Amino acid sequence: MPPKKKNDLAKAAKMADKENLARAETEILSLQHLLELRSHEALEARRSERMWRERMEAFTQALEQQKEDTLDITADMMRQYKGMQEQLLKKVADLETENRQFKKTIEERDSEIAKLQMEKEQQKRASDLEILQHQHKMEEMQVEFAQMLRETLDKMHERLSNGTYNRS
């Protein structure tokens, strides 16, 4: 081959090499830029993932704490409820006992009142009977006195009529 062609070929090869080199350098720069971009995106993704994991863990802990608090509150409320229930049951029992005592006292008083009323009625009947007996006796005594007075008057009248009345 002639030297010119060789030279041209060499020049063309050099040019092709330069173009390939320039293309390769551009491609390398583009790939480096893409690598940087992807690295930055991966870093952001890891940072975002870490942040989301931290938030998730915080929410999980908050949820667990809330469950624990709810269980504690429920247990405390249950203790209070049972305590109040026991107090109320005791109060009900005390009031029922007191009610029974009041009923017993009322029954005793009613019985006592009935007994006193019976005694009062018996005393009244006895008093009425005694009054009737006294009235009857007074009537008998009146009748006796009237008879005695009549007899005495009749005797005086008879003596006066006979003239035998003695003034001594």
Query: Distance between CA 47 and CA 45 in Å, rounded?
Result: 5
pLDDT tens-digit map of 78-113: 999 999 999 999 999 999 999 999 999 999 999 999
Query: What mean pLDDT comes out for the span 50-75?
Result: 94
Higher-pLDDT residue of 168 and 20 is 20
**Count of alpha carbons within 13 angstroms of residue 81, beta-carbon side:** 6
Q: How far is Cα of residue 91 from the mean position of the Cα atoms in its chain? A: 12
**Count of alpha carbons within 13 angstroms of residue 59, beta-carbon side:** 6
C-alpha angle with apex 29: 25 to 31, nearest 5 degrees?
Answer: 115
Stated pTM of the model: 0.44
Query: Distance between CA 5 and CA 24 in Å, rounded?
Result: 27
DSSP reduced 3-state for 160: helix
C-alpha angle with apex 39: 35 to 40, nearest 5 degrees?
Answer: 120
Which amino acid does the sequence have at 155? K
Given a cut of 60, is residue 1 above it in pLDDT? Answer: no
pLDDT tens-digit map of 152-166: 988 888 888 887 655
Token pair belonging to 59 = 């929410």
